[in-house]
Amino acid sequence: MKQVLLSIAIILLYTISISAQKKEYKNNDFKIKKVSVSHKSDFGVTIWEINVEGTAGKTKPIKAGQLDGAPVLGYVFPTSLNPIDVGFNQTEGIVALALTSHPDFDDTPLWDENNDQIFNNDGIVWHPHWVILRKDNRVAGGFSVKQFKKADNTVILPPTNPGMPMYMDSPGYPVTTINNTIRVVVPDYRINHKADFNYDGVTAFMKVNTSNNDLPMLGVYQVFSIASNDLSLPYKVKK
């Protein structure tokens, strides 16, 4: 009986801890005030920015200690870009640029974001990913990163991808956080020289799954804020 009660207590404490973490994440650091993408033709780049009411990038995930269940926080730009514009094969889904932080793993093997000469220890540093999002009612946030079977020879990923069976790339663009703004700079040639697309802004809590085949490998479990309120991608690139 004591063992049963102890097990129940542990489960309750774990549940309370997870709930508290989610509440802590949902704060002004993820409440979007403004989103913008500007094309700077003189430099051949677009500058992507999300402005929040709090301090952009200040809140980071609490380490889970393992990959399964690892938390991921993100400032995300869903776009009307085509998958081939960012190096994927043509496929259904929403092309999004996600600026993420996750302390339990590193998925940018080519880049040393904290400049310590170690390439696999800086997942907590805010960094960019191109992803293809698909609607997914298995998770509370309604979206997940699109997966594929490793044997599928039709799948094309950019050479900078992290080697996971998902439509994900680790392009290595510079990300900065200053006061209430998180910003990333994208060279024109990395998006097929497109400067006429639509976009939106989203902040979200995501989670990795490696143990349950009924759940996505990387799903959106909570959406904190949407710039347009309805994810209609109403914003156009400023020139």
Between 192 and 14, whose confidence is greater?
A: 192
Residue 189 pLDDT: 98
- For 124-154, how does the pLDDT look when each residue is reduced to its tens digit (9 = 90+)? 999 999 999 999 999 999 999 999 999 999 9
- Name every residue whose Cβ is closer than 8 Å to that of residue 75 and which is 6 or more positions away in sequence: 30, 50, 56, 57, 98, 99, 100, 126, 182, 201, 202, 203
Phi/psi of residue 77, each to 5°? -110, 95
CA distance 102 to 115: 17
- For 47-83, how does the pLDDT look when each residue is reduced to its tens digit (9 = 90+)? 999 999 999 999 999 999 999 999 999 999 999 999 9
151 burial type by CB count under 10 A (0-12 exposed, 13-18 middle, 19+ buried): exposed
Full-model pTM? 0.90
Domain extent at residue 150: 2-236
Beta bridge partners of 182: 50, 177
Residue 22 pLDDT: 56
CA distance 170 to 131: 9
Residue 183 pLDDT: 98
Structure tokens at 98: 């996600």
Residues in the chain: 239
Residue 198's region, left for phi above 0, alpha for psi from -120 to 50, else beta, is beta
Give me the number of domains the chain comprises: 1
CA distance 165 to 107: 12
